[in-house]
């Protein structure tokens, strides 16, 4: 996810008693739907939409997005700098989105998210003012990270958002590299990153703001020129280093109960010779789920990223990510049609058995559990 909103594209429990049936697929799963307490049959597109995050251009959400939310085909919205002119303005936008959602057949709250990392990477004015690097170099990094988490959580909650795509848990290798250039990593020491990351996560989640550990299994080895938003990135990090350095902060984040983990779009030959992390079942299901035993929600980085353009359109990459085991698909091109196309592609894959329906159900359950917990 990028620092700039303009120069770079991104760097961007099931409720009781409401039965939902996927039409024609014979799958049933409980979800929170309207009217409260009564079974509701959702379309495949509506069910798929619960896993897709939309974005939009400018300061005013378009009618197309509001209509899709009211129709129950949107799982959440991500906000960038261009969407925010003031805290009062974005609070009004959030209220507008929630009003549209109130007309939806789905009652699980939308995931309303932004990148409030601290330092340069802040979409909302205000806390946390310090960057991760400044916190990591301070006299008491853990206290600083906890304060940053509280500040970010209060800031998001104040405008009605419920999810922060932070902290960055990459362990940077060289001064001025991809993460360090803008102060987005706590330290070159994996233990400092682990302790600070866990502290920020805990502080945010005490305020019922879902935190996100990113970018698994780590972009700390990326050079200043290795930007997954712009093109393919291969990080040929030895397996021993991935385990002892890059993975260390993510283990602490999982132990701290982090609600979401964002994967990177880099390729890690030590784990998977060909597929980027977020498209790799070996990494998503094998490393993160089975080996590290992460039970929360996974979220992709931007589906329009240049690193995965060779695998197809953003919608096609969304299908591949879902097949790999990713739960939430992030459409952050500031174009509502990107989210629509992704929903349509995954719904088509599901209906034509190109996507495992059991896997879909499990992912949907995780996403709804997270959303319901944020009500």
Q: Which residues contact 18 (CB under 8 A, 6 or more apart)?
A: 30, 31, 32, 33, 36, 37, 38, 39, 40, 107
Residue 332, SS3? coil
Task: For residue range 70-94, list pLDDT tens digits in order.
Answer: 999 999 999 999 999 999 999 999 9
> How far, in Å, CA of 120 to CA of 152, rounded?
14
**Spelled out in words, what is the top-level CATH class assigned to the domain 44-373?**
alpha beta
Mean pLDDT (whole number) for 166-182? 97
Question: Which H helix or E strand runs over 339?
Answer: helix 336-351
Q: Is the pLDDT of residue 64 over 70?
A: yes
Domain boundaries, the chain: 44-373
Question: Which H helix or E strand runs over 21?
Answer: strand 19-22
Give the angle subtended at the CA of 235 by the CAs of 230 and 238, to the nearest 5°.
Answer: 175
Q: Is the pLDDT of residue 323 over 50?
A: yes
Q: Is the pLDDT of residue 13 over 50?
A: no
Task: For residue range 97-155, list pLDDT tens digits in order.
Answer: 999 999 999 999 999 999 999 999 999 999 999 999 999 999 999 999 999 999 999 99
209: left (phi over 0), alpha (psi -120 to 50) or beta: beta
Pick from 172, 135, 137, 139: nearest CA to 152: 135
């Amino acid at each position: 996810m990028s620092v700039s909103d303009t120069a770079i594209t991104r760097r961007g429990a099931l409720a009781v008693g409401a039965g939902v049936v996927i039409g024609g697929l014979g799958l049933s799963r409980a979800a929170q739907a309207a009217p409260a307490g009564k079974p509701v049959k959702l379309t495949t597109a509506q069910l798929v939409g619960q896993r897709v995050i939309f974005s939009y251009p400018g300061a005013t959400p378009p009618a197309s997005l509001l209509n899709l939310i009211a129709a129950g085909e949107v799982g959440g919205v991500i906000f960038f700098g261009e969407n925010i002119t003031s805290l009062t303005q974005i609070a009004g936008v959030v209220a507008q989105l929630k009003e549209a959602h109130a007309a939806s057949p789905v009652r699980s709250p939308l995931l309303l998210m932004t990148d409030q990392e601290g330092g340069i990477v802040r979409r909302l004015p205000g806390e946390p003012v310090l960057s991760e690097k400044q916190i990591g170099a301070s006299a008491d990094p853990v206290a600083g990270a906890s304060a940053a988490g509280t500040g970010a959580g209060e800031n998001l909650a104040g405008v009605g958002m419920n999810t922060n795509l932070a902290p960055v848990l990459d362990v940077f290798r060289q001064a001025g590299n991809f993460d360090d250039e803008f102060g987005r990593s706590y330290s070159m020491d994996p233990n400092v990153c682990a302790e600070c990351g866990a502290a920020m996560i805990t502080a945010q989640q005490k305020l019922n703001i879902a935190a996100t550990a990113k970018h698994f299994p780590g972009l700390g080895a990326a050079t200043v020129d290795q930007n997954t938003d712009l093109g393919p990135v291969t990080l040929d990090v030895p397996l021993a280093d991935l385990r002892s350095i890059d993975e260390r902060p993510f283990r602490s984040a999982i132990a701290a109960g982090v609600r979401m983990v964002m994967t990177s779009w880099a390729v890690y030959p030590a784990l998977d010779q060909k597929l980027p992390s977020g498209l790799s079942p070996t990494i998503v299901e094998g490393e993160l789920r089975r080996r590290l035993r992460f039970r929360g929600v996974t979220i992709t980085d931007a589906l329009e990223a240049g690193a995965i353009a060779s695998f197809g359109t953003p919608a096609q990459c969304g299908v591949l990510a879902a097949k790999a085991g990713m739960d939430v698909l992030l459409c952050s091109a500031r174009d509502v049609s990107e989210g629509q196309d992704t929903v349509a592609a995954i719904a088509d894959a599901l209906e034509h058995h190109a996507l495992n329906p059991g896997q879909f159900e499990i992912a949907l359950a995780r996403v709804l559990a997270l959303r319901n917990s944020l009500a």
